[in-house]
Amino acid sequence: MPLDRHAQALLDLQALTGFQGFDTMPVAEARADMIARMADAPREPVARVEDRATPSGVPLRLYWPATDGNARPALLFAHGGGWVLGNLDTVDGSCRTLANASGCVVASVDYRLAPEHPFPAAIDDTLDAFRFLLAEAGALGVDPSRVAVGGDSAGGNLAIASCLKARELGEPLPAFQLLIYPVADSSCSTPSFEEFATGFGLTRNAMRYYWRQYAPRPEDAEHPLASILRADLAGLPPAFVLTAEYDPLRDEGEQLARRLQDAGVPATLRRFDGQIHGFFHLGHLIPDGKTAIAEAASALRSALGA
């Protein structure tokens, strides 16, 4: 279908202001710019917000919805940003909305960023945060049997990679995966990468840049914990996979959903036609973002009995 008019307006505004992409800036400047761009995102009130850290020092921000005193399901959420950008503040609004709409305690993880901390540091931090939620479930009011992992873009990659790592180590797996236009392969060679290489926000050159920062060694970029499509996906938790029509990552996300299904993993695929990468967090600018969060929350409620 045609590009959504709100997404087109955002792209037009970026072109008018001369925005060339975060990959064209020095890393520190790009990080500050992303934070500034998300500063005006609406932030719903929640029952409680608390900043915590795992015993090894990985920062977390926890959001509690209104509670009835019973143990809640939980979602560990890893932000996007090409493993290079983003922090707890850039997804604060979305995490608040997800907590309220899903009935889950949402824990946002501030994993270490590349290029200072390349693969697999971010995976280790994400898995460490999941272990923390299980270990502290009682004190947090969380049901340890109903803890999901999720994330958008690079965060979606980290969510499923943490499942693969836990399986490899023989540790408990999450109950569910919420994968929002996840990064799944380092080749950047699918038809959607060809079709939407430029002009739709996220570019092919940007993704290649992010991959170079995160996995500078070719063997790391090709590792199944980085290029998820190369992994054995059998035995992973059920998943909800969301993609966007005008996103270079669309095809690898949809391949991932099919690969999960082929491996016997219950996986639901939802494509948002007319949409661009990043719209999930931009409901204040692109109404489909609000719809996407509502559907993600519904998937969490159904899977976790929230």
- Catalytic center residues: 153, 247, 277
Q: CA angle, 94 as apex, 191 and 298 as ends, to 5°?
A: 80
Report whether 272 contacts 243 (CB < 8 A): yes
Triad 157, 162, 168: Cα angle to 5°:
125
Query: Do residues 23 and 210 touch, judged by C-beta distance below 8 A?
Result: yes
Question: Whole-angstrom Cα distance, residue 142 to residue 46?
Answer: 16
**Side-chain half-sphere of 64: how many Cα atoms within 13 Å?**
17
Q: What's the token pair of residue 293?
A: 């969060």
Q: How far apart are CA 89 and CA 91, in angstroms?
A: 5
Pairing status of strand 105-109 against strand 59-64: antiparallel
Q: How many residues does the chain have?
A: 306
Alpha carbons 277 and 81: distance in angstroms, whole number: 11
Integer Cα distance of 35 and 56 in angstroms:
25
CB neighbours of residue 234 within 10 Å: 11
Spatial separation of the C-alpha atoms in residues 220 and 293, rounded to whole Å: 32
Q: Cα 203–229–99 angle (5° rounding)? A: 75
Closest CA to 50 of 63, 69, 67, 59: 63
